[in-house]
Amino acid sequence: MLIEVMKSKIHRVKITKANLNYIGSITIDAALMEAANIIEGEKVQVVNLNNGERLETYVIKGEKNSGEIAMNGPAARKAQVGDIVIIISYACMTPEEAKQFKPTIIFPDTETNKIH
């Protein structure tokens, strides 16, 4: 049996763009992706602290050290520029693996979306 556990979390970043006329996804600063152990195309859950919305989408790599967090396509209706979100990815593993696993969690500055 496999269970789904938190693999990575970017805790509290600010939405910098919302682009409805895009094919979909969330664009994340490559430096944040690297620090959080998230790869391009990976499925993530986005939790919006401002309005309570929760959605799943996939990641597009943004410009490194840009601070960019952009909601694209239909997801742009779920967040506005300035909203604070938490981005979470999950992995499937056995319960035994999960007991030993340590997720990667980062806490960027919420004003700049940069790692302290």
Active-site residue set:
25, 58
Cβ neighbours around 37 below 10 Å, total: 16
Task: List, in sequence order, every residue forming a beta bridge with 17; answer none if it has no partner.
Answer: 70
Instruction: List the one residue out of 78, 37, 31, 35 whose CA is nearest residue 56.
Output: 78
Instruction: List the one residue out of 105, 20, 10, 23 whose CA is nearest residue 67.
Output: 10
Phi, psi dihedrals of residue 51, rounded to the nearest 5°:
-130, 0
The amino acid occupying position 54 is R
